[in-house]
């Protein structure tokens, strides 16, 4: 693919010393460019690549969204193999709703819904197995079934909630503490830190933070200076919240 999306054509995201034409993931590919003209060139090059490999891009599932744009009139039209790509103001990706204004609030709410459903599953399993009064077993079920649901996609949407104070207003934090307090049979007014200590749990933002660190460390294994700058900016945003 590098041969088709070559940096020599300047259709790439570029710094003074680094050019990145694309980023490969397990089952996705992201094209990058500094300008609209070069992004269209990347799309053309990508089409040449897929045609050579006898692959076909599903343009019905390929959408165009410009972050922090105020209107559609000034947005360039991008085409792939002829037809223009559909311009949208929000896009659901892997269960996370991305919006044009860059807000992740809707994503956090969606993930809270998944978290709530997973907690309900923990209660159903405990009822079926007759272990609802065994607190350690319930915590184990919570770690396996529920916590993973609360972490899903947090590398993307949880950046603005990576401190204890900012995380306290998230629905996921409320659900987390609610489950633990109900498990212990204590009042809702019970001190949060006492509940976390008694159950061996950490504040929910800590789990998110750990996911983000692991995600960026996996990307930084290539020693890419551009990705390092992105990591630094991501953590700076988190510390400012």
For residue 14, pLDDT over 70 is answered with no
Rounded Cα gap, residues 129 and 141, in angstroms? 11
Contacts of 36 (CB under 8 A, 6+ apart): 76, 78
pLDDT at position 43 over 50: yes
Supply the pLDDT for residue 224: 57
Task: Quick: pLDDT tens for 60-113.
Answer: 888 887 777 766 667 788 999 888 998 888 877 666 677 777 666 666 677 788
| pTM score, whole prediction | 0.59
Domain ranges of the chain: 7-88, 105-212
* Cα distance between residue 142 and residue 136, in whole Å: 10
Closest CA relative to residue 77, chosen from 69, 86, 88: 86
Q: Which two tokens stand for residue 231?
A: 């990591």
Mean of per-residue pLDDT scores for the chain: 79
Measure Cα distances from 203 to 58, 138, 209, 237 in Å. 41, 18, 10, 19
Q: Rounded CA gap, 96 and 66, in Å? A: 17
CA-based nearest residue to 51, from 1, 8, 2, 85 = 1
Higher pLDDT, 33 or 49: 49
pLDDT of residue 238: 47
Q: Is the pLDDT of residue 237 over 60?
A: no
pLDDT at residue number 24: 65
Contacts of 117 (CB under 8 A, 6+ apart): 149
Q: List, in sequence order, the alpha helices (H) in the chain.
A: 36-52, 105-129, 135-141, 147-151, 154-157, 164-167, 171-184, 192-199, 204-220, 225-240
Q: Please say if the pLDDT value at position 201 is more than 60.
A: yes
Q: For the ranges 60-74, 143-157, 166-180, which has the lowest average pLDDT?
A: 60-74
Rounded-to-integer distance, Cα 118 and Cα 191, Å: 24
What pLDDT score was predicted for residue 241?
A: 41
Pairing of strands 63-64, 90-93: unpaired
- What's the CA gap between 99 and 49, in Å, rounded? 30
Q: What is the pLDDT of residue 60?
A: 85
- Confidence at residue 220, expressed as pLDDT on a 0 to 100 scale: 60
Residue 23's beta-bridge partner residues?
Answer: 30
How far from each other are the two terminal CA atoms of the chain, in whole angstroms? 39
- Residue 12: the pLDDT is 62
Q: How confident is the model at residue 199 (pLDDT cuts 50, 70, 90)?
A: very high
What's the half-sphere exposure (Cβ side, CA atoms, 13 Å) at 219? 18
Tokens 């089952």, residue?
27
**Residue scoring higher pLDDT (214 or 227):** 214
pLDDT of 211: 80
Q: Which residue has the tokens 């104070």?
A: 165
The stretch 107-126 carries a mean pLDDT of: 85
Give the alpha-carbon dihedral of 165, 92, 145, 132, to 10 degrees: 80
| pLDDT at position 175 | 93
Tell me, what's the pLDDT at 92?
75
């Amino acid at each position: 693919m590098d041969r088709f999306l070559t940096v020599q054509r300047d259709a790439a995201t570029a710094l003074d010393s680094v050019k990145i034409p694309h980023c490969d993931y397990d089952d996705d590919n992201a094209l990058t460019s500094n300008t609209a003209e070069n992004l269209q060139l990347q799309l053309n090059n990508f089409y040449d690549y897929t045609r050579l490999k006898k692959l076909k891009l599903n343009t019905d599932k390929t959408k165009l969204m410009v972050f922090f744009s105020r209107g559609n009139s000034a947005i360039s039209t991008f085409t792939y193999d002829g037809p223009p790509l559909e311009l949208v103001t929000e896009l659901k990706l892997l269960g996370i709703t991305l919006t044009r204004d860059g807000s992740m609030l809707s994503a956090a709410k969606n993930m809270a819904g998944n978290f709530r459903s997973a907690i309900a599953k923990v209660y159903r399993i405990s009822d079926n197995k007759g272990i609802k009064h065994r607190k350690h077993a319930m915590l184990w079920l919570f770690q396996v079934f529920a916590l993973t649901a609360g972490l899903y996609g947090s590398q993307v949407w949880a950046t603005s909630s990576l401190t204890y104070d900012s995380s306290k207003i998230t629905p996921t934090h409320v659900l987390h503490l609610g489950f633990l307090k109900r498990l212990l049979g204590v009042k809702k007014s019970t001190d949060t830190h006492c509940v976390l200590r008694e159950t061996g749990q950490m504040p929910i933002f800590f789990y998110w933070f750990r996911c983000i660190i692991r995600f960026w460390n996996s990307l930084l294994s290539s020693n890419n200076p551009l990705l390092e700058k992105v990591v630094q900016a991501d953590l700076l945003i988190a510390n400012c919240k």
